[in-house]
Amino acid sequence: MADQVYTLRWGIISTGWISMKFVLDLLADPKTRGTTDVAHKVVAVGSRSLESAQKFIDTHMAGNKSVKPYATYTELLADQDVQAVYIGTPHTIHYENALEALNAGKHVLCEKATTANATELKALLALAKEKNLFFMEAMWTRFQPLSLELKKIAEEGALGDPVVLHADLSADFKTETLPLTHRMLDPKLGGGALLDLGPYPMFWCMLGLYEHPSNKGARPTSVTGSILKSSITDVDACSSWTVNFTSTLQAQAVLTASMTVDSAPFGATIRYKRGVILVKPPIYRPPAFTVQYFGEGNKVVREETRAFSFDDGQGWCYEADEVARCVRDGKLESGLWGHEKSIIMMETFDEVRKQGGYVLPEGVEKLGRVQ
């Protein structure tokens, strides 16, 4: 019946910080965010040992006895009660984890960067289609209420076409104090700013420029990247890249990410022919955005600010709801964040790494090594 609640049964692959945040949102009552058609149930947690899986359940799920701990991901994927898996492992392990999950018949929500390169991602998407399984990159910002509202305002016509977009996500990781095995420093884990922080500036490029109706779905026409290597290991400490759209829209995104300095105060700024949208940082979960409308002489004649709270969770719940609805409806990809967008993002990162000379160690990329 139409009023029935569809409950998606999840298995969690890895027990790190990001998996913890995702699970806490899964445990929140969907009705508190106005969701009444889908719900979530964590049925299994997989880790590198039974002890760590059980500790995760005890710590973050109040020791729920109905959740099964597994000492390996393979054991979790063999559990017939698991419908979909959330993959929260490091970037360079995503391909192997997702490949095994799809071959086990599980729907997949995979953290970003989705894989080590675009070739790996395309192989996973082909397999998901072959097996009739849903696959989505965990671009949680796309599903947050702020992004939905901003997109509606940006595209209603009053602002005109976008022309220039700036976005930055950075954080001072104090890399001089980190062990060389830390995810930000270790090339074997795809360390550096680009793959860890870069998806968020790139997301705003995709939302603000690629998705704009005037772009008519055209891919970027060029990407120019620059990388400043870390003095500690051969990963990128700072990366910047420009993305041009010239097929139907005349617009450019200027994007930056750094792991040695805090984020820029402007967050994300989208400049239109007749106004500006200012997105308040942090750009992965913005609390507000301001719209300025121009009059004669490009003077601001009207300004509106929209603020959003996360009392109903931390923001991961909305992407989980999207997965549940897509699985319920038999969809293989999301209409809001589909496969093509993830491919464009990974191809962009491949190009920036290639131009910046950031080569991952031999054997890290399982398919299509970027050199």
Do 230 and 299 lie in a common domain?
yes
Is the confidence at residue 258, as pLDDT, over 70? yes
| Model confidence band, residue 176 (pLDDT cutoffs 50, 70, 90) | very high
Q: What is the pLDDT of residues 46-105, one digit of tens each?
A: 999 999 999 999 999 999 999 999 999 999 999 999 999 999 999 999 999 999 999 999
Across residues 196-203, what is the average pLDDT?
98
Do 255 and 189 lie in a common domain?
yes
Do 101 and 242 lie in a common domain?
no
Nearest to 221 by CA among 195, 198, 242: 242
Give the span between the Cα atoms of 158 and 162, in whole angstroms.
11
For all residues of the chain together, what is the average pLDDT? 96
Across residues 257-276, what is the average pLDDT?
97
**What would the 3-class secondary structure string for 162-230 be?**
EEEEEEEEECCCCHHHCCCCCCCCCHHHCCEHHHHHCHHHHHHHHHHHHCCHHHCCCCCCEEEEEEEEC
Contacts of 135 (CB under 8 A, 6+ apart): 98, 102, 107, 108, 110, 124, 125, 128, 332, 333, 339
Across residues 143-159, what is the average pLDDT?
97
Is the confidence at residue 2, as pLDDT, over 80? no
Do 135 and 264 lie in a common domain?
no
| SS3 state of residue 298 | helix
Nearest to 260 by CA among 167, 175, 185: 175
Asked if the structure places residue 273 within a domain, the reply is yes
Do 104 and 153 lie in a common domain?
no
Asked if the structure places residue 365 within a domain, the reply is no
Do 108 and 135 lie in a common domain?
yes
Asked if the structure places residue 363 within a domain, the reply is no
Residue 309: the pLDDT is 86
Asked if the structure places residue 362 within a domain, the reply is no
CATH label of the domain that carries residue 280? 3.30.360.10
Residue 311: the pLDDT is 66
Give the span between the Cα atoms of 107 and 101, in whole angstroms.
8
Question: Is residue 108 within 8 Å of residue 319, measured between CB atoms?
Answer: no
Q: What is the pLDDT of residues 235-253, one digit of tens each?
A: 999 999 999 999 999 999 9
The total of structural domains in the chain comes to 2
Strand-pair category, 162-170 with 251-258 = parallel
Q: What is the pLDDT of residues 132-148, one digit of tens each?
A: 999 999 999 999 999 99
Residue 312: the pLDDT is 61
Bin 233: left if φ > 0, else alpha if -120 < ψ < 50, else beta.
beta
Do 68 and 183 lie in a common domain?
no
Do 268 and 162 lie in a common domain?
yes
Residue 310: the pLDDT is 76
Asked if the structure places residue 338 within a domain, the reply is no
Give the span between the Cα atoms of 152 and 354, in whole angstroms.
35
Do 104 and 19 lie in a common domain?
yes
| 42: phi then psi, degrees, rounded to nearest 5 | -85, 120
Do 190 and 53 lie in a common domain?
no
Asked if the structure places residue 369 within a domain, the reply is no
Q: What is the pLDDT of residues 110-124, one digit of tens each?
A: 999 999 999 999 999
Give the span between the Cα atoms of 118 and 97, in whole angstroms.
16
Q: Which domain holds residue 16?
A: 6-141+317-332
Asked if the structure places residue 206 within a domain, the reply is yes
Counting every residue written for the chain, the total comes to 371
| Model confidence band, residue 1 (pLDDT cutoffs 50, 70, 90) | very low
Asked if the structure places residue 1 within a domain, the reply is no
Do 72 and 214 lie in a common domain?
no
- From residue 52, give the alpha-carbon distance in Å to each of 1, 33, 183, 235: 40, 31, 19, 29
CATH label of the domain that carries residue 105? 3.40.50.720
Is the confidence at residue 278, as pLDDT, over 50? yes
For residue 90, cis peptide bond before it (omega within 30 degrees of 0): no
Do 166 and 271 lie in a common domain?
yes
